[in-house]
Structure 1
Amino acid sequence: MADLITTAAALILSAIFVFLFNNRKKPRYSKSIKLPPAPRKLPIIGNLHQISNPPFRCLRDLSKQYGPLVHLKLGELTAVVVSSPDLVKKMLKDLDPVFADRRQRTFSDIIMYGSSDIAFGSYGGYWRQMRKLCINELLSPKMVQLFQSIRSDETARLIRSLHESSGRTVNLTEKIFSHSSSITCRAAYGSVIKDNEAFLKLTADATALASGFEIADLFPSSRIVSALSWTKWQLKTMRRKLDVTLDDVIDRHKRNRVENGSGGGRRSGNSEFGSEDMVDVFLRVKEEGQLQFPIDNDNIKAVLYDVFVAGTDTSAGTIDWIMAELLRHPQVMAKAQAEVRQALKGNSTEQDHVVHNLKYLKLVIKETLRLHPTFPMVSRASKEEQMINGYIIPAGEWVIVNIWAMHRDPRYWKDPEMFKPERFENQSLDFVDGDCHFLPFGAGKRMCPGITFGLANVEFILSQLLYNFDWGLPEGVRGEDLDMTENNGLTAARKHSLSVVVTPYN
């Protein structure tokens, strides 16, 4: 039976190969233009044989060999990989409008409702409208401060749960992701998703398929490849499950608006603050019909899911990496705990303003985001032809910014592979206006709009974990034994869950 399956698979692949060879597309541009340096290509697949998981590592290796701009042929597509801070500054800041677009992908077309979200949507009026609504109603500094009561409440639940597991081995990764998702849902949706754990599992499975190198995307003209895409089938199955959950969220808000007699008014009382949450706002502006770009339920669901993925994965993934690094470096753990315990002094849940001023904790967070950026690569598309560093970047080109490689470049970082929070003590690098060799949240018009929301969650949750507990590893496991392999997907979370032993701090 196994031989039959292997033979059938070989025949199918051979048929696809012959079809693609006979129907291969002509290059989009003349051979006379000066493109960036490129490794040798194979027929049909181009440089796909040189791409392995996780892609940001192998792309770093290609950049070491061919330079800061590398031109690749990936199936029918062409791409330019950028790994120089100076060139990134020119492209994502100086020429930001030219490189602010995204290429369309199977993942975003299916999971993000025709790429009508903020993360994957095409740059233009609709995108600016939705981003502005999202920032005003969820991500502004004022709203982030308002959500402190949610952070405190959910973190208190987490602390109680960990106390109950005192002395036992705990899957900290699961607890942190569940905790972060609860904060995001209460802030954006007004309440926690009914089956939060199943929704988290759905999100993890979906984002694992979003690495950007889906075969159907790389051969867009081939109907055979598209029809045989297992990833595409999986995403469509996930989309149906996603619809059930998000439709329930929207329907619940619609019912509450009717029951509360809001009828399109500004206050519906759905959220725990007695005012509109993000879902209410979208429903209201949809009903009022005053938007320049009208929206429907699919557009609302796209942004709601965007917020869930970004709000949960970035905060939880970062905390997970931080705790793993601290367990590998006990001297850093001790220093961070000493600062937190000195500053909080027994009143550990009501001092958000104190937490915000924990200087060494901020260094730990920065160093973790340097080594483990949530989004290790930034994908863009050029709107028009540009000359960069003496080379032509054609219009419509897929541009891949390798943030992970720049964060570990020895030309900009001493001992780049080592975890040293102190390296940021005498540097003025921040998350918004810093040099382009430190870009954990991206740059330009598409910079992550949730920086304030995410950092507030990370700082507060981390301070409570370090204040309330002493941390260890299961018997027989040493810090240096921890597997620090990254996931291959939309985000670079840790591949394996972090198991710990917690001891309450007296």
Structure 2
Amino acid sequence: MGVSNQFDELLERLLVEHEERVEEYENKDMMDLLLEAFRDEHAEYKISRKQIKSLFVEIFLGGTDTSAQTVQWIMAELINKPSIIEKIREEIDSVVGKTRLIKETDLPKLAYLQVVVKEGLRMHPPSPLVVRTFQESCEVKGFYMPEKTMLVINVYALMRDPESWDDPNEFKPERFLPSSKSKQDEEKEQGLKYLSFGAGRRGCPGSNLAYLFVGLPVGVMVQCFDWKIKEDKVNMEETTAGMNLAMAHPFKCTPVVRIDPLTFNLKSPSP
């Protein structure tokens, strides 16, 4: 049986499981909400079961390659800046300890690792261009936009704009650490210039999943290994690969065991 058929069967099974839940089920997830829209006869836009499954296929399969590329970019940035690696390790050792691997539930407590991932996504967004189409004619800052006009937004350039970011071409995770501003003001300000996953109602629905897919492997690789390269620095030159930006010269590195993850199974887990 092919992988696509297996994935389709898995999604169908998940759909059935969610449909069998009682309506009062409190911990609703994305699939529960989509099924509610599917069952709503008065919904403004009708969706089908096939469309629901197609959306999840795009989220899981479409996000796999971009997440892998983002991990590669972040590791390249870290290899070029060993001091950041040390800060991540200090945080992991403090929060997680040295007797087990980090896991998904640790990520919310690892504030510095989170901003490292966020900075990596700012400098190397999974989709450097975002396309939108005007459903109605309108005027934007004096420019008339006819209905059905296609707008291409260069989010890569916007997130390296020196008018919005200090030292925009420098990998500085600290720029995302909490400041004296209120959380609400920070989120509002960043919402206008941090566009790694698009923005608004058409923003990427898999953004939270992407932070897990990227943050966990980066954390584990930094926690368990030192990374050696032949050159002094990783070449960060970019090239296009479809709609994504890839490394023009994919780097080769040698992992050197720092903490052997195989020994964790022999020890008592941390509380």
TM-score w.r.t. structure 2 length? 0.74
Q: Deviations over 1:428-466 (max 9, x none)?
A: 687787341111111110111122222123222222111
Alignment of 1:142-181 (within 5 A): none
Deviation at 1:353, TM superposition (A): 3.9
1:450 maps to 206
Alignment of 1:24-423 (within 5 A): 245-251=3-9, 266=20, 290=39, 292=41, 293=46, 295=48, 297=50, 299=51, 302-349=54-101, 352-423=104-175
1:459 maps to 215
Where do 5+ consecutive residues of structure 1 fail to align?
Answer: 1-193, 195-243, 268-276
Q: Distance in 1 between matches of 2:114 and 2:17?
A: 45
Query: Which residue identity lines up with residue 250 of structure 1 in the other structure?
Result: D
2:268 maps to none
Query: Which residue identity lines up with residue 447 of structure 1 in the other structure?
Result: G
User: 1:437/1:249 Cα in 2 relative to 1: closer, same or farther (>3 Å)?
Assistant: closer
Contact 1:379 1:401 in 2 (8 A): yes
Q: Distance in 2 between matches of 1:312 and 1:411?
A: 32
Contact 1:382 1:397 in 2 (8 A): yes
Is 1:477 the equivalent of 2:214?
A: no
Deviation at 1:487, TM superposition (A): 3.0
Q: Distance in 2 between matches of 1:248 and 1:357?
A: 35
Higher mean displacement: 361-370 or 332-341: 332-341
User: 1:344/1:484 Cα in 2 relative to 1: closer, same or farther (>3 Å)?
Assistant: farther
Is 1:500 the equivalent of 2:243?
A: no
Query: Which residue identity lines up with residue 206 of structure 2 in the other structure?
Result: G
User: 1:351/1:265 Cα in 2 relative to 1: closer, same or farther (>3 Å)?
Assistant: closer
Q: Distance in 1 between matches of 2:48 and 2:250?
A: 39
User: 1:307/1:353 Cα in 2 relative to 1: closer, same or farther (>3 Å)?
Assistant: closer
Rg larger in 1 or in 2? Answer: 1
Q: Distance in 1 between matches of 2:210 and 2:48?
A: 27
2:263 maps to none
Deviation at 1:467, TM superposition (A): 0.9
Query: Which residue identity lines up with residue 253 of structure 2 in the other structure?
Result: V
Is 1:437 the equivalent of 2:193?
A: yes
Contact 1:352 1:460 in 2 (8 A): yes
Deviation at 1:316, TM superposition (A): 2.2
User: 1:379/1:454 Cα in 2 relative to 1: closer, same or farther (>3 Å)?
Assistant: same
Q: Deviations over 1:212-262 (max 9, x none)?
A: xxxxxxxxxxxxxxxxxxxxxxxxxxxxxxxx64344335777x89xxxx8
Deviation at 1:399, TM superposition (A): 0.7
Q: Distance in 2 between matches of 1:448 and 1:377?
A: 13
TM-score w.r.t. structure 1 length? 0.42
Where do 5+ consecutive residues of structure 2 fail to align?
Answer: 22-28, 260-271
Contact 1:329 1:479 in 2 (8 A): no
Q: Distance in 2 between matches of 1:253 and 1:382?
A: 33
User: 1:374/1:430 Cα in 2 relative to 1: closer, same or farther (>3 Å)?
Assistant: farther
Query: Which residue identity lines up with residue 302 of structure 1 in the other structure?
Result: S
Q: Distance in 2 between matches of 1:295 and 1:468?
A: 45
User: 1:264/1:383 Cα in 2 relative to 1: closer, same or farther (>3 Å)?
Assistant: closer
Deviation at 1:290, TM superposition (A): 4.0
User: 1:308/1:426 Cα in 2 relative to 1: closer, same or farther (>3 Å)?
Assistant: closer
Local SS of the residue matching 1:499: coil
Deviation at 1:477, TM superposition (A): 2.1
Contact 2:95 2:109 in 1 (8 A): no
